[in-house]
Structure formats: structure tokens, C-alpha cells
């Protein structure tokens, strides 16, 4: 399927998997399908012209009856259509032929679930695993992109502070994403920075020489992959962390995944007022070339301003600021009240003297 060359690896694999499913269902081969399409187009019977399309629709209906999602059915249609498009034999479907239903994908986690994930990490590598969760939450990038980061990129990131003195790290250069090869402008907030710094110190204390080219996150398992890549965590190692969490988390733990943190990142930042196209730049998604806040400094300023929406621990800068403002307001009120009492003191003195004089006159009159 030559035209899949421009698609991401995961998409290519999904297309090929669904195309194989279609071939198995109809007990045929790609060559037989190609010959069938040519014969149908040359047939004098107009009913033959749509034979492949009818096979696709039948298969989609069977999948829906077997409780497969509408998205799976659409993937099947796309995979078969892609095969014929590469042969310049395009299939034709009507809008009504498309499977009904929607799929929202992995649900975004909430603050309580992220706190729960961190609380459950009490075994080995707890600092590393907590750092991974909070880094994914703060940066909104994929696990493949987080796994590709090196110690040098993290340590050389520009450090900025907010009004409360909290540190943020802004990577100097955009990171090319592993999946789509688009730039991701990585920003990390104080919650993830604190854990990553603890994790790196833990590795230093263990005797590791943290050279700039060392992976930011490493595996401790002795596998062929880890030996070849200097201990760098593979995608499966990250996924394994969340698979274990699914078993430990109560209630909706089955919805926990690295991608759910990516959705949390986008949902919360957009809710805090960050433009959608700016969030896409942070996450490494394609966005408008006419909006370039990464070059004006506005992307970083907006991230810092909106960071309270990403917090899962602590009160947050805005809440603390509001509390301090309230305390100052009460202090001002107390000072003002004391000043008023001070100004009224002479009047109180006169009143007291008047009362004392009246009492004295009453005593004389009684005598």
C-alpha cells in the first residue's frame, strides 16, 4: 500500500491490520481483489460495478453487530479504499454508507486521578514514575517524545520564575516529535521539575555520570533494547507503568493512560484561556503558521499564566495571591478601624468627663 508512506507508523499499522482482516473475511488476496475490481469495471452488468463496495459495507455491518466501534469500521473502509487508490481504482461510497456512531477516544483524567496515580507509586522507581506522570501532565507530549529527551536538553532549558518564585523550564529548541515529525515547544512547570530534579539527584547518588547525552528517563531492566540504547526507556516501558496503574486504581482506573494525560493538558489549558493553536504548539501538533507566539515570548508567558490549571498539588499561585490580597485587605481595614478609634478618643474623653460631672452634681443635689 504505497500511499501509506506519508502516514504515521501507528496509522500504517492500523490500516494494514484492518486490510488483513478484510482479506481474511472474504478469503481472498490483494491480487484477487485487484483482478476482481478490473473485471467489475469491464462488466456490462452495472450491478458488478459496486461489488467491492458492497463487500466493505457488509463487513462493516458485521463488525457493528459484533459490537465493534464505528471508528473501527471507518478504519476498515479507509484501509480498503487506500489499497485501491494506490492502484488508481478508487472506490466510491455515499454518505449514508458510513457507519453511524462516534468515538471520543481516551477520556481525560482529572486532578484526583493524577493524585491517585502518584499516591500508588510507592514501590521501586517511585520518584522516576511520579516524575514521568507529572512531566506528561505538564508538557502534554507523547510518551515516545518524552522517552527521546536527554539529560542535557533538560538541564540546559531556560529557567524562568513566576511572581511566587516558582521555576519553569522552557526547552531552548523545539523537539521534533517521533510520530509526526512536527516541532513541540516543551514547557515544564514546578510540579514536574521538582520530581525530575529529585530523580536526577537519585541517579547521581547512585554513581551515574549524567552526561548531556544520557536519557532523561532510564529503565533498570537488562534487555537487548536497553543495552543498545544506553538504558533509554522504550515505549512499552512507559505503557507498562500505566497498565499497572489500571489494575491498582479504583473505579475508573481502566481509563488511565499516558494519552489521557495529554488530553488533560489540552483540556485544562484551553479552559484557562490558552488558544487552541498555542496548545497544539506545546504538544507538537500541526497548527496555524500565522500564529507564532513561540517567537514573541507570548507562548511561555501564557503557559506560566495558565499553569494553575495544570496543578494537581498545592494551592497554586493565583489562590495564594488571592489569599494574600484578602489578608492585606483585612489588615488595611484593621488599620483604618484603629485610626477611627484614635480620632474619636477626644470625644470619648469629653463624654466621660461630662458623665462624671453629671454624677457629681447628682450627688451634691442629694445632700
Is residue 173 within 8 Å of residue 154, measured between CB atoms? no
Residues 122, 238, single domain; the answer is yes
Residues 128, 168, single domain; the answer is yes
Residues 321, 294, single domain; the answer is no
Residues 264, 354, single domain; the answer is no
Q: Which residue range(s) make up the domain with 55?
A: 2-97
8-state DSSP, 220: -
Residues 273, 348, single domain; the answer is no
Residue 196 neighbours by CB distance under 10 Å = 25
Helices (H), the chain: 9-26, 30-42, 51-65, 70-86, 111-120, 126-139, 143-147, 151-155, 190-205, 224-228, 235-248, 258-271, 276-283, 293-296, 298-306, 317-366
pLDDT in tens, the chain (367 residues): 555 555 666 678 888 889 999 999 999 999 999 999 999 888 888 777 889 999 999 998 888 877 777 888 888 899 999 899 888 888 988 877 777 665 555 677 899 999 999 998 887 799 999 999 999 999 999 999 999 999 999 999 999 999 989 999 999 999 999 988 999 999 999 999 999 999 999 999 999 999 999 999 999 888 888 888 899 999 889 999 998 888 888 765 567 889 999 999 999 999 999 999 999 999 999 988 899 999 999 999 999 999 999 999 976 555 556 656 767 777 787 777 777 777 777 766 666 766 665 665 566 555 4
Residues 283, 336, single domain; the answer is no
Residues 240, 260, single domain; the answer is yes
Residues 267, 355, single domain; the answer is no
The C-alpha cell that represents 175 in the structure block: 523537539
Q: What pLDDT does 312 receive? A: 95
The C-alpha cell that represents 304 in the structure block: 506560566
Residue 117 lies in a domain: yes
Q: What pLDDT does 362 receive? A: 60
Q: Which residues pair with 184 in a beta bridge?
A: 175
Q: What three-state secondary structure class fits 311?
A: coil
Residues 53, 195, single domain; the answer is no
Q: Which residue has the cell 521538582?
A: 194
Count the domains in the chain. Answer: 3
Residues 346, 287, single domain; the answer is no
Q: What pLDDT does 219 receive? A: 94
Q: Which residues pair with 169 in a beta bridge?
A: 159, 188
Q: What pLDDT does 179 receive? A: 85
Exposure letters 40-77 (e unless 16+ CB within 10 A, then b): beeeeeeeeeeebbebbbebbeebbeeebebebbbbbb
CA atoms within 13 A on the CB side of 225: 10
- The CA distances from residue 147 to 68, 157, 164, 267, in Å, are 32, 17, 31, 23
Residues 89, 197, single domain; the answer is no
Closest CA to 312 of 138, 164, 168, 183: 138
* Angle CA 14–18–24, to nearest 5: 150
Residue 105 lies in a domain: no
- How far is C-alpha 338 from the chain's CA centre? 52
Residues 218, 143, single domain; the answer is yes
Q: What pLDDT does 167 receive? A: 96
Residue 28 lies in a domain: yes
Cα distance between residue 136 and residue 156, in whole Å: 19
Q: Which residue has the cell 455491518?
A: 61
The radius of gyration computed from the CA coordinates of the chain, to the nearest angstrom, equals 33
Cα distance between residue 233 and residue 216, in whole Å: 9
The domain that contains 46 carries what CATH number?
1.10.150
Q: What pLDDT does 297 receive? A: 96
Cα distance between residue 237 and residue 218, in whole Å: 9
Amino acid at each position: 500500500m504505497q500511499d501509506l508512506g506519508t502516514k504515521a507508523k501507528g496509522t500504517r499499522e492500523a490500516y494494514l491490520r484492518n486490510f488483513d482482516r478484510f482479506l481474511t473475511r472474504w478469503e481472498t488476496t490483494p491480487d484477487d481483489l485487484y483482478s476482481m475490481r478490473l473485471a467489475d469495471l469491464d462488466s456490462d452488468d452495472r450491478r458488478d460495478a459496486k461489488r467491492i463496495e458492497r463487500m466493505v459495507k457488509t463487513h462493516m455491518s458485521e463488525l457493528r453487530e459484533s459490537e465493534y466501534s464505528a471508528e473501527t469500521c471507518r478504519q476498515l473502509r479507509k484501509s480498503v479504499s487506500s489499497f485501491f487508490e494506490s492502484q488508481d481504482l478508487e472506490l466510491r461510497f455515499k454518505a449514508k454508507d458510513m457507519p453511524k456512531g462516534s468515538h471520543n477516544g481516551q477520556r481525560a483524567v482529572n486532578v484526583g486521578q493524577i493524585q491517585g496515580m502518584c499516591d500508588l507509586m510507592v514501590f521501586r522507581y517511585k520518584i522516576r514514575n511520579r516524575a514521568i506522570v507529572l512531566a506528561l501532565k505538564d508538557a502534554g507530549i507523547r510518551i515516545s517524545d518524552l522517552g527521546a529527551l536527554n539529560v542535557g536538553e533538560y538541564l540546559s532549558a531556560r529557567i524562568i520564575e513566576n511572581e511566587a518564585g516558582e521555576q519553569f523550564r522552557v526547552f531552548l529548541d523545539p523537539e521534533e516529535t517521533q510520530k509526526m515529525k512536527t516541532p513541540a515547544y516543551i514547557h515544564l512547570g514546578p510540579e514536574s521539575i521538582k520530581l525530575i530534579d529529585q530523580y536526577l539527584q537519585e541517579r547521581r547518588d547512585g554513581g551515574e555520570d549524567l552526561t548531556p547525552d544520557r536519557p532523561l528517563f532510564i529503565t533498570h531492566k537488562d534487555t537487548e533494547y536497553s543495552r543498545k540504547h544506553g538504558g533509554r526507556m522504550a515505549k512499552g516501558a512507559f505503557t507498562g507503568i500505566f497498565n499497572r496503574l489500571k489494575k491498582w486504581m479504583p473505579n475508573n482506573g481502566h481509563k488511565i493512560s499516558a494519552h489521557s494525560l495529554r488530553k488533560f493538558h489540552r483540556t485544562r489549558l484551553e479552559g484557562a484561556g490558552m488558544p487552541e493553536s498555542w496548545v497544539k504548539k506545546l504538544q507538537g501538533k500541526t497548527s496555524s503558521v500565522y500564529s507564532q507566539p513561540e517567537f514573541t515570548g507570548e507562548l511561555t508567558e501564557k503557559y506560566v499564566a495558565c499553569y494553575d490549571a495544570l496543578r494537581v498539588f498545592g494551592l497554586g499561585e493565583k489562590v495564594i495571591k488571592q489569599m494574600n490580597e484578602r489578608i492585606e485587605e483585612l489588615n488595611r481595614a484593621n488599620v483604618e478601624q484603629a485610626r477611627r478609634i484614635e480620632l474619636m478618643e477626644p470625644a470619648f474623653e469629653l463624654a466621660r468627663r461630662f458623665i462624671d460631672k453629671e454624677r457629681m452634681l447628682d450627688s451634691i443635689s442629694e445632700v
